[in-house]
Amino acid sequence: MKFVSQLNEDYIPTLEIDKGKIVKNPETPERLKKVLKYFETFHERLEVKNYPLNLLFHVHPKWYVQHIKELSEKSKDNEYLPEVFLKDRIFDSGTPVTFQTYNAALSAVNATLTGAEEIVKTKENVYVITRPPGHHATTDFAGGYCFFNNAAIASTFLYSQIKEKICILDIDFHHGNGTQSIFYENPEIVYISIHGTPEHYFPWISGYKDEIGEGKGKGTNFNFPLSGKSSWNEYSIAFEKALDIITKISPAILVVSLGYDTHIDDPIGDFKLESRDFFQIGYEIKNLKIPTLFIQEGGYNKESNFEAASNLFKNFEKEV
Ligand code: OKS
Ligand code: ZN
């Protein structure tokens, strides 16, 4: 399979408020360097192309995109952590803005669209190794280190090209509230997520089982909230159910919102998945036999990210 990378090394947020305290922001380029190095050794790289902003506007309104640009420009001398959430359209205190935020978020979108265009053309699997992540960004709110929703923009583009069902499987530790909300009334782009229960984990406000979609999209949104500390025993049950849903829907393309923060050694996520469990994840996604676009979301321990990625893709790519 091929990969695209855009780590935006000049975009380094430092601030975050967690439980009332200023802590170090973990969403840095460092976290993905070893994963990228591994991919560079064995895989063909696609050069990132630039796409018209129009593709972004299909998900985020123009004023919101402009607003993120202006917040970035305002942060030239000082990293900015908003206090008044409604005014600044950032819904949590873990998401500061730096002078590089807008360019980085836009570059991540371009990297993701590069992967999406490739999969439309070749039906071959692609992994987009990029940051900032996207799955918490709604049409007009940033949060959870996310500004533009890479997976949603890619899925919207994919649907516009092939006009067949798309499934998004979100296996980051956190619920992708942004992606869910963007497609909540859309039956063509189905969202399925396995995550730490919002009773105890970010993003707190969504990710419950009874959120099943609305209007025409009713019955096309699937949440599997799990208790923290879940290990493969509990996780695999939800994972099988998610795969069954995908098999039934039989989408033309599968988009995986891929977070490694489900690994036991991740400092933020609370699940107890071991490195070896990612072999199983790779094997089972491969067995769906659906062209798959993997898009990077969370994962904050450089070493466990590498182990999770290398194991997952080793089995995903294994010849049968
Ligand atoms: C606020 C907590 C922010 C946690 C953000 C989680 C980001 C993530 N202090 N999403 O998938 O990994
Ligand atoms: Zn996460």
Pick the CATH number of 2-316 from 3.90.1150.10, 3.40.800.20, 3.55.40.20, 3.20.20.80: 3.40.800.20
In the beta sheet, which residues pair with residue 142?
90
* pLDDT at position 83: 80
Confidence of residue 313 (pLDDT cuts 50, 70, 90): very high
Residue of minimum CA distance from atom 9 in ligand 1: 18
Index of the ligand 1 atom closest to the CA of residue 297: 11
Confidence of residue 40 (pLDDT cuts 50, 70, 90): very high
Q: Let me know the angle formed at the C-alpha of 134 by 304 and 117, rounded to the nearest 5 degrees.
A: 100
- Over the range 59-88, which residues count as b (16 or more CB within 10 Å of their CB) and which as e? bbeeebbebbeebbeebeeeebbbeeeeeb
Q: How far is the CA of 249 from the centre of ligand 1 (A)?
A: 30
Q: Is the CB of 217 under 6 A from ligand 1?
A: no
Index of the ligand 1 atom closest to the CA of residue 174: 11
Residue of minimum CA distance from atom 5 in ligand 1: 144
Between the alpha carbon of residue 107 and those of residues 55, 64, 76, the distances in Å are: 13, 17, 19
Cα(37)–Cα(166) distance, integer angstroms: 30
Q: How far is the CA of 94 from the centre of ligand 1 (A)?
A: 7
Q: How far is the CA of 313 from the centre of ligand 2 (A)?
A: 19
Structure tokens at 248: 């039934």
The chain-wide mean pLDDT, for the chain, equals: 97
Residue of minimum CA distance from atom 3 in ligand 1: 94
Q: Is the CB of 307 under 6 A from ligand 1?
A: no
Can you give the pTM of this predicted structure?
Answer: 0.98
Q: Is the CB of 18 under 6 A from ligand 1?
A: yes
Mean pLDDT of 222-233: 97
Residue of minimum CA distance from atom 4 in ligand 1: 144
- Over the range 9-29, which residues count as b (16 or more CB within 10 Å of their CB) and which as e? eebebebbbeeeeeeebbbbe
Q: Is the CB of 299 under 6 A from ligand 1?
A: no
| Catalytic residue list | 136
**pLDDT tens by residue, 235-284:** 999 999 999 999 999 999 999 999 999 999 999 999 999 999 999 999 99
The arrangement of strands across the sheet holding 253-258 comes to: 44-45, 2-6, 126-130, 292-296, 253-258, 166-170, 189-196, 221-226
Q: Is the CB of 251 under 6 A from ligand 1?
A: no
Is residue 221 within 8 A of residue 211, CB to CB? The reply is yes
Q: Is the CB of 144 under 6 A from ligand 1?
A: yes
Which of 14, 268, 297 is the pocket-test mutation for ligand 1 (most atoms within 8 Å of CB)?
Answer: 268
Quick count: other Cβ atoms within 10 Å of Cβ 147?
31
**pLDDT tens by residue, 61-101:** 999 999 999 999 999 999 999 888 888 999 998 899 999 99
Q: Is the CB of 260 under 6 A from ligand 1?
A: no
**pLDDT tens by residue, 151-200:** 999 999 999 999 999 999 999 999 999 999 999 999 999 999 999 999 99
Which of 27, 145, 257 is the pocket-test mutation for ligand 1 (most atoms within 8 Å of CB)?
Answer: 145
* pLDDT at position 197: 98
* pLDDT at position 231: 98
Residue of minimum CA distance from atom 6 in ligand 1: 144
Q: Is the CB of 300 under 6 A from ligand 1?
A: no
Q: How far is the CA of 319 from the centre of ligand 2 (A)?
A: 30
